[in-house]
């Protein structure tokens, strides 16, 4: 495509003029295009989707790998963290609140499972650096520890008709 290549950079990327993307490819392969489109849709979502929804999906995927922070999400989208903040603010959203809500939702899902992982593993799965952070969040959300919340959730499930 006539573009310069740089190696050993901080990320893998191809940058080119938008006009280059409109040029027909001589060896066009419809199956390869469909495969690439499926990959992009699965990993980066529909561009028509609200920005906040795309970020929520990315946070859910990145959280357990320890990359659910604002800088990592912005980097994955190839935008600046401030741009991420502005676009979320335009939809009335805050990144930290979104991460907090996702963690809360995922904690409930983990605790409802009869074979839930140990608390330290749950903390890592929710993107916390250590167990006390999970305990603090659980106390803030539910005014109890994760084990007390698990009992509460299981009792609520048992009492349902």
Over residues 19-28, the pLDDT tens digits come to: 888 888 777 8
Token readout for 156 is 């609520």
Given a cut of 90, whether residue 42 has pLDDT beyond it is: no
Which domains does the chain show, CATH number per domain?
Answer: 96-158 (1.10.10)
CA distance 133 to 79: 29
pLDDT for res 104: 95
pLDDT single digits (tens) 104-147: 999 999 998 878 788 899 999 999 989 999 999 999 999 999 98
pTM for the full model? 0.68
Token readout for 92 is 């009335």
Name residues whose C-beta falls within 8 Å of residue 58's C-beta, 6 or more positions apart in sequence.
45, 73, 76, 77
CA distance 6 to 16: 13
pLDDT for res 142: 94
Token readout for 119 is 């608390």
């Amino acid at each position: 495509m006539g573009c310069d290549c740089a190696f050993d950079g901080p990320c893998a990327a191809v940058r080119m003029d938008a006009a280059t993307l409109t040029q027909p490819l001589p060896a066009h392969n419809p199956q390869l295009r469909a495969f690439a489109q499926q990959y992009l849709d699965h990993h980066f979502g529909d561009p028509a989707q609200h920005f906040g929804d795309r970020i929520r999906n990315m946070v859910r995927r990145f959280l357990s790998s320890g990359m659910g922070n604002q800088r990592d999400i912005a980097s994955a989208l190839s935008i600046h963290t401030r741009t991420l903040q502005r676009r979320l603010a335009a939809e009335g959203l805050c990144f930290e609140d979104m991460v907090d809500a996702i963690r809360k939702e995922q904690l409930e899902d983990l605790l409802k499972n009869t074979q839930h992982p140990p608390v330290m593993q749950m903390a890592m799965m929710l993107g916390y650096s250590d167990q006390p952070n999970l305990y603090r969040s659980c106390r803030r959300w539910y005014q109890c520890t994760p084990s007390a919340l698990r009992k509460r959730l299981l009792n609520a499930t048992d009492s349902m008709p």
